[in-house]
Structure 1
Amino acid sequence: MIVDTLHRSRAIILLIWMTLICPQLSYGQQVDSTSQKVDSLGRGLAYYFDEARKLKNQNKLDLAIKSIEKAAEVAETNDDVKALIDSYNKFAILYLELGKDQDRALFFLDRSKTLLKDVEYPYGNAIYRYVDALVLFKNEKSFQALLMLEQAKQLNNDRNFFNKILLVEGDIYTSLEKYDVASKNYNSLIVNTDIYEKDYLATRAYLGLAALHFRTEEYDVSASNAEEALKLAKANNFFKEIYEANVQLTESYGKLGSFDLALERNMELLRIKDSIFTIEKIKTETKTAEKIQFEFMEGQIKQQDEKIEELTESENRSEVAVILTSAFLIIISLLAVSLYRNNQIKLKTNDLLQTKNNELQAARDAAVNAMDAKTNFLSTVSHELRTPLYAVTGLTHLLLEENPSENQKEHLKALKFSGDYLLNFINDILQINKIDADKLEPLNIDFNLKRTLQEVIDSLQQSASANNTKIKLEYDEEIPSHLMSDPIKLSQVFMNLVGNALKFTKDGEVRVIAKLLKKEEEDVTLYFEVSDTGIGISEEKQQSIFEGFEQGSIQINREYGGTGLGLTIVKSLLGLFDSRIQLQSELGKGSTFFFELHLKSKDSLVDDIPFEITEQDFDFKGLHLMIVEDNKINQVITKKMLTKKDITCDIANNGMEAVELAKANKYDAILMDIHMPGISGEEATIQIREFDKETPIIALTAISLDDSLESFYAAGCNDVVTKPFKPEVFYQKIGENIFNKTVKDSAS
């Protein structure tokens, strides 16, 4: 009697232990059996499996797990073995989808295999082989996976199941570089008529084609398919596919050289990473799996408690003792398994955290590369535009000097206006890209703030008069006269703010205010304000007015013109000083822009004698210059501009000719282009300075983003004039560098 009892007890212990050494089994997913049994809520297996399928396709794996659990409970309650087999198979698929727990997937696949031995169920066998093929493909055993898929097709002809096999075969053939076969599979899925997953299968097929054509370097076709996949994925909330489509588009557009589109897709990746593949989602999925595991453990303990209670009422006390001992051992085992699983979960979570960090770093690097490519592109374009623009503005100036008729003069003035407008536009884009590329750093030199503001206002008085508008400066005399900062960039800030205010103000007033807020030793905090009585800005547009190309509305752009980049430049420049521009405005009543700056003062310095830079009149007659220029049209224009002032010149077509002419002749000055074939203007200047230290050399160049004024001066240039230029500036620079230098040399 006791021996029989011990045998029965050992059998019970062995059965329970075999169940507990692996995680819980009350999971399930969509079954294709026809059981219509329902749970307490009146929901059948079909409901839960359909819900789980939809949640899986939307990458909501934690919710899909919960639906599967409920379905499996219905199957177990009703002793539906086929439904349980399907649950194990589909649960394995879900864990493969999670990607980090293949052991659990294999466990449920093994449970399915065990049950299939005792029941005749072709569909269950087909799904089992399909899942096994997924595992083999995941482990890079592609040919074995194809063989397993072929066996699966022989066991079942369900349309949805057949479509899924086509999709996996397409992925396998792509990995084996059998692109023709893979393409046929994908194209057949794009037009599929699946009643369950039509859009999902089409989305995956488009992604497959995108990856295939990327491998074959057909990047335009790859991008087209990825765009179609993205469109379908967004329409159906297929979050994983949205992410994959954006990754594919970033790579394809990058290969095509469409850097703006690549950057746009990459920025989209950064936005969706924290909404789809977040750490919180990982934690939720992990907690869901852990919760279900412990629920299963608690169920097993409850079953043992019920068994013990039954045996307690029995007269066989020895069997009760054995069962009590078994229960104790089981509880200890459960605790050990729980601790082990918790530790494994923590390790896997840490791995996922590291993976996410690596993905974010890679995305950031890709975004930076795309931005660099865009910056270099705009730099090159802006430089190339300046050269023909120099011809436009130069020829316009020469024609206006030749006493044209009134009709011609009107057309020439319109041409000059268009040239100036285009030049300002190029300068604005170049300025923004210099800031974005971190190629601008503020200087820290001594300057007089009041003089700087007054110079800005004086330069804009003509625009103010044209609009019958007055500019008023309200300056706090408590502000130290000597401040340390970058007066050039501050001038740009106020030129844009005041110029913008004048553009939108007619018959009104623009006020520029500078106040001292705080002074502690050499630390000074200043408040600046530029206000106008113009048209104002609507409340909804105030949030976007500082973005590039924004001007409030299309009507405003058409009426007042401009590029809409002025305020963007202001915002970017103030960012270099760790300051932020702010705005208050009301339609029809005007606008006020204000900001604060933290500067250093130099109280120990004595004020310079006030002076104004006045334009000098120079007698250029008899001067002989050398023009170094590789562009024939620019040669003609520059030579004619010099001839207008009775200046003779020689022309060098490149840097080497310039060096030879400088050795053989004496020139009053050299006008040196920087960008030339062969040796550059900088290199030519360095070589000339080896034997001629005196002749003024003026860099005459279409400066680009990568050019550095400091490098021009370091090479030996005396001054720089950027093309295209205003003629008066051109003549002024020549005169200053020839005659002022002569006066200085005579005095010494």
Structure 2
Amino acid sequence: MKFIFQHIIIRKALLLAIYLACAPFVLAQERTNQVNGLETFFNETRIYKNQNKINLALESLDKAAALAEETEDEKALVDCYHKFALLYMELEKRETTLFYWDRATVLLNELEYPYGHAVHKFIESILLYDSGNNFQAIFMLNESRQLTNDRNLLNNILLLEANIYLSIEKYDSAALNFNSLVVNNDVFEKESLMAKSHLGLAKLYINTQDYEESIKNGVRALEIAQANNFSKEEFEANELLGQAYEKRERYNLSLVHNRNLLKLKDSVFTIEKIKAEAKTADRIQFEFMADEIKRQDAKIEELNESRNRSEITAILTSAFLTIISLLAVSLFRNNQIKLKTNDLLQTKNRELQTARDAAVQAMEAKTNFLSTVSHELRTPLYAVTGLAHLLLEENPSESQKEHLKSLKFSGDYLLNFINDILQINKIDADKLEPLNMEFNLKKVLADVISSLQQSAKENNTKIILEYDEEIPKHLMSDPIKLSQIFMNLVGNALKFTKNGEVNVIAKLMKKEEEEVTIYFEVKDNGIGISNEQQQNIFDSFEQGSIQINREYGGTGLGLTIVKSLLGLFDSKIQLESTLGKGSSFFFELDLKSKDSVIDEIPFEITQKDYDLNGLHVLVVEDNKINQVITKKMLNKRGISCEIAGNGNTAVEMANTSQYDGILMDIHMPGISGVEATIQIRKFDTDTPIIALTAISLDDSLESFYAAGCNDVVTKPFKPEVFYQKIGENILEHKLKKSVT
């Protein structure tokens, strides 16, 4: 008997141990099932929405919302509210959209959910665009873009931005966005985004009276829509094609598409469908509100039970009612005053809104002006620096060499000035965002010092790096912008220091897990800055005095750029200086370290001296002088070339001839270099394409790569950089191809 009892105890203990061992896996499996269930419903919602089956999309989303409430998943519930808002916007139920948007607002106030906040601002931009506030909508889209890396959301932001640009007749910007999405690789909505982008281009080309291009894009949109049952896009494509063919006086084809519209109205956009959608939408909204009323009733009942438990609550309630009675008259009078005040506030708000729109338009006009001027100056500057380089290589006399070096110096100076203006303009227009990539801080500082050694020698000044070896070797931030900061600070120190030294200091202040705080300082023993001059030394075009400007040169933009770039990192530059003894600029930066990386990554880029002889390339350039300069620079290295004067010619030549590579100018009349690249990639995905661009404010390197460019060179470019890019992209591609 005792043995049996012991056996039972041992058996129960074993079962308990097995349960405890398996419990975490069971719970994890349940959680995975819940997440998979939500994703299934979300995917169904997305598919039904793109197929214009809004009632079915609402049904699937309602199931997702129920599951999110059951599992108390607040982030998923926020996603559900956002998707409800977007679906009701499709049904043109703006008030219901605002209702669900407000419900999401309440939850987001208590949540750290960057993606949720990004979608929230995206929906707000849709509402602003719907009410005609285009510039505010663009501003809100930029805020949304900064909060997320989700590719699907970024693609939808790009699409909405394109439609806003289309509505305000910024056709170049709209075309750039639409063309980027035509070749998108979105995981969830690739075909939908392609169809909508082709429709956008079809509308754009109708507005610009390029009816043949409108027809091409309309036909492509129709093909995608029919293949994927996108009934709404199919309807719009037929409508646009009917208009475009009518404009081209091809009335038989216009009639075909108008008849298709009638068929679609009869078969897809029926009264029964509209009634079903409205019925489903009203039912789900009614059920949600009914559930909300039940939740509120439960809270009231809970409060009533609590009141019955305490006599103090009853006394306080009586006192509260007495106070309410005494204040009723006062509240009534206050309410009358409030109504009048609200009317006045609404009037002032409208005036403020008008003033804000005017200010935004003025800011955009200033930004576009500076961007255009900076870009237009780069094109002739390319001719100046390019010709100076070519002439210096043709064995000029000593007297000519001196003049040519002066010319090249002036060109480089002007280029730096233009770059500084464009940099500040980008920061002011919120076009710059800090990257987050792995880098070696010591390597960044060493490269900056190395590049400025020649300037230091000219002033007989030493540059000393004081680097704390406790700083982690692998950090995460934006090494390019950090290089710009130190180039300006160290370059500025060298300019005002002769026969002295400049110290570059980096010290580890704090390290908690992966969070790192580093102190930076650049100090010199140069001429120093007076207390009066320190007040505005960080303002644009300020160097302290006219005498300093004349003696030392420069634009007075370097410290302004430093201050603005540090603002992107939530850091602030500080200054200590004594006149005649030197200056010290210092700041702190919060970075992330990557302790998990053991081996140091080699950051050195090996510069190769490529033998480019025998390469044959296509140069796409509309400027005649630039054509001559580029051709001569190529011929000096044994590269033969053919010239295309515009994008359309480039597409034809690339389709009929073989080239080792293509050098593509971006800004051209007719179709741009981006559009030409997109068309070439439709029949040739192999030939390397290098973009040559006098880059402007609206240019996006991401859009160049998305169009199919392999690399980008900014004009006016340094010859060694130009040849290096050709070697890396065109020669190495040719060598690899010959091996295989």
Which residue is 1:393 aligned to?
385
1:680 is displaced (CA, Å) by 1.2
1:556 equivalent to 2:557? Answer: no
List runs of 5+ in structure 1 lacking aligned partners: 1-335
Contact 2:615 2:731 (8 Å CA) reproduced: no
Letter in 2 for 1:726: K
User: Which runs of structure 2 are paired with 1:140-179 in the superposition (5 Å)?
Assistant: none
Q: Distance in 2 between matches of 1:716 and 1:340?
A: 67
- Structure 1 residue 364 displacement after superposition: 2.8
Superposition deviation, residue 501 in structure 1: 0.8
Residues of 1 paired with 2:667 and 2:331: CA distance?
A: 70
1:669-684 to structure 2, matched below 5 A, reads 669-684=661-676
Partners of 2:687 and 2:377 in 1: how far apart? 31
Q: Tell me by how many angstroms 1:358 deviates.
A: 4.0
Are the aligned partners of 2:524 and 2:583 in contact in 1 as well (CA < 8 Å)? yes
1:617-663 superposed Cα distances (whole Å, 9 cap, x missing partner): 11122221111101111000100111111211111111121122222
In structure 2, relative to structure 1, the CA distance for the partners of 1:528 and 1:743 (3 Å cut) is farther
Q: 1:450 maps to what in 2?
A: 442
Matched, 1:573 2:565: yes
Cα distance in 1 for residues equivalent to 2:363 and 2:502: 38
Cα distance in structure 2, aligned partners of 1:699 and 1:342: 66
Q: Is 1:480 aligned to residue 472 of structure 2?
A: yes
Distance in 1 (CA, whole Å) between partners of 2:509 and 2:352 is 43
State the shift of 1:564 in Å.
Answer: 0.5
| Range moving further from structure 2, 576-585 or 354-363 | 354-363
Q: Residue 627 of structure 1 corresponds to which residue in structure 2?
A: 619
Q: How does 1:205-604 map to 2 (within 5 A)?
A: 347-604=339-596
Alignment check: 8 A CA contact 1:627 1:650 kept: yes
TM-superposed CA distance for 1:341, in Å, is: 8.1
Cα distance in 2 for partners of 1:563, 1:410 equals 24
* Contact 1:656 1:679 (C-alpha < 8 Å) held by counterparts: yes
In structure 2, how many angstroms separate the alpha carbons of the residues matched to 1:593 and 1:518? Answer: 20
> Does the alignment pair 1:702 with 2:702?
no
In the TM superposition, residue 451 of structure 1 has moved relative to its aligned partner by 1.0
Residue 651, structure 1, aligned to residue 643, structure 2: yes
- CA-to-partner distance for each residue in 1:590-609, whole Å, 9 max, x for gaps? 11111111111111112335
Residue of structure 1 equivalent to 2:147: none
Aligned with 1:690: secondary structure?
Answer: helix
Distance 1:347 1:738 in 2: 71
Instruction: Please name the residue that 2:655 is paired with.
Output: 663
Q: Percent identity?
A: 82
What CA distance in whole angstroms lies between the structure 2 residues aligned with 1:385 and 1:624? 30
Cα 1:628–1:341 change in 2 (3 A) is same
Question: Per the alignment, in what secondary structure is the counterpart of residue 443 of structure 1?
Answer: coil
Q: Trace 1:101-120 onto structure 2 (pairs within 5 A).
A: none
* Other structure's SS at 2:502 match: strand
1:701 to partner: Cα distance: 1.3
| SS of 1:666 mapped into structure 2 | coil
Q: Any conservation in 2 of the 1:525–1:599 contact (CA below 8 Å)?
A: yes
1:535–1:744 Cα change, 3 Å = farther
The one-letter code sitting in structure 2 at the alignment partner of 1:509 is: E
Q: Which residue among 634, 645, 658 is the counterpart of 1:642? A: 634
> What are the residue-to-residue correspondences of 1:10-29 with 2, within 5 Å?
none
Which residue type is aligned with residue 619 of structure 2? I
Q: Shift of residue 586 of structure 1?
A: 1.1
Shift of 1:560: 0.9
* 1:548-607 per-position Cα deviation (integer Å, ceiling 9, x unaligned): 100000011111111111111111111111111111111111111111111111111123
Q: TM-score scaled by structure 2?
A: 0.54
TM-score normalized by the length of structure 1: 0.53
Q: Is the 8 A contact 1:686 1:716 kept in 2?
A: yes
Letter in 1 for 2:502: V
- The amino acid across from 2:593 in the alignment is S
Deviation, 1:350, is: 4.7
Q: Say if 2:660 and 2:734, in contact at 8 Å, map to a contact too.
A: no
Q: How many residue pairs align between the two structures?
A: 414
Partners of 1:446 and 1:610 in 2: how far apart?
12
Aligned-partner Cα distance in 2 for 1:343–1:617: 81
Q: What is the distance in 2 between the residues matched to 1:338 and 1:683?
A: 68
Quick one: which amino acid aligns to residue 551 of structure 1? Q
Per-residue CA deviation, residues 315-350 of structure 1 (Å, 9 max, x unaligned), is: xxxxxxxxxxxxxxxxxxxxx999998776555445
> CA separation of 1:338/1:590 partners in 2, compared to 1, >3 Å: closer, same or farther?
same
Which amino acid counterpart does residue 650 of structure 1 have in structure 2? E
Q: If you compute each CA radius of gyration, which structure gives the higher value, 1 or 2?
A: 1
Take 1:665 and 1:363, find their aligned partners in 2: how far apart are those partners? 56
**CA distance, structure 1, for counterparts of residue 701 and residue 682 of structure 2:** 21
The CA deviation at 1:357 is 4.1
- Cα distance in 1 for residues equivalent to 2:399 and 2:332: 92
Aligned to 1:718: 710
Task: Assess if the C-alpha contact under 8 Å between 1:482 and 1:607 holds in 2.
Answer: no
Contact 1:659 1:684 in 2 (8 A): yes
* Contact 2:474-2:600 at 8 Å conserved across structures: no
Change in CA separation of 1:745 and 1:507 when aligned onto 2, cut-off 3 Å? farther
Structure 1 residues 343 and 603: CA distance shift in structure 2, 3 A? closer
CA distance in 1: counterparts of 2:737 and 2:508, whole angstroms: 43
Match of 2:727 in 1: 735
Q: Distance in 2 between matches of 1:585 and 1:637?
A: 47
Match of 1:312 in 2: none
One-letter amino acid of the structure 1 residue matched with residue 660 of structure 2: D
Q: CA distance change for structure 1 residues 712 and 736 in 2, over 3 Å: closer, same or farther?
A: same
Letter in 1 for 2:485: V
Q: CA deviation at 1:613?
A: 2.5
Which whole-Å CA distance do the structure 2 matches of 1:606 and 1:530 have between them? Answer: 30
User: Is the CA contact 1:526–1:597 (under 8 Å) kept in the aligned structure 2?
Assistant: yes
Distance 1:658 1:340 in 2: 76
Secondary structure in structure 1 of the residue aligned to 2:683:
coil
The structure-2 alpha-carbon separation of the partners of 1:359 and 1:647, relative to structure 1 and needing over 3 Å to count, comes to same
Q: Distance in 2 between matches of 1:710 and 1:340?
A: 59
Q: In 2 relative to 1, CA 612–357 (structure 1 residues): closer, same or farther, beyond 3 Å? A: same
- Residue 481 of structure 1 contacts residue 607 of structure 1 at CA under 8 Å; is this kept in 2? no
Shift in Å at residue 467 of structure 1? 1.0
Paired with 2:380 and 2:330, the residues of 1 have a C-alpha distance of: 76
User: How far is 1:742 from its partner?
Assistant: 4.4
Deviations 1:343-394 (A, max 9, x none): 7655544544444444444333322221111001111111111111111111
Residues in 2 aligned to 1:730 and 1:517: alpha-carbon distance in whole angstroms: 41
Cα distance in 2 between the residues matched to 1:357 and 1:423: 44
The match for 1:605 among 597, 611, 632 is 597
1:692–1:566 Cα change, 3 Å: same
Instruction: Say if 1:471 and 1:378 are closer, same or farther in 2 by CA, change over 3 A.
Output: same
Cα deviations across residues 172-213 of structure 1 (Å, max 9, x unaligned)?
A: xxxxxxxxxxxxxxxxxxxxxxxxxxxxxxxxxxxxxxxxxx
Give structure 2 stretches of 5+ with no counterpart. Answer: 1-327
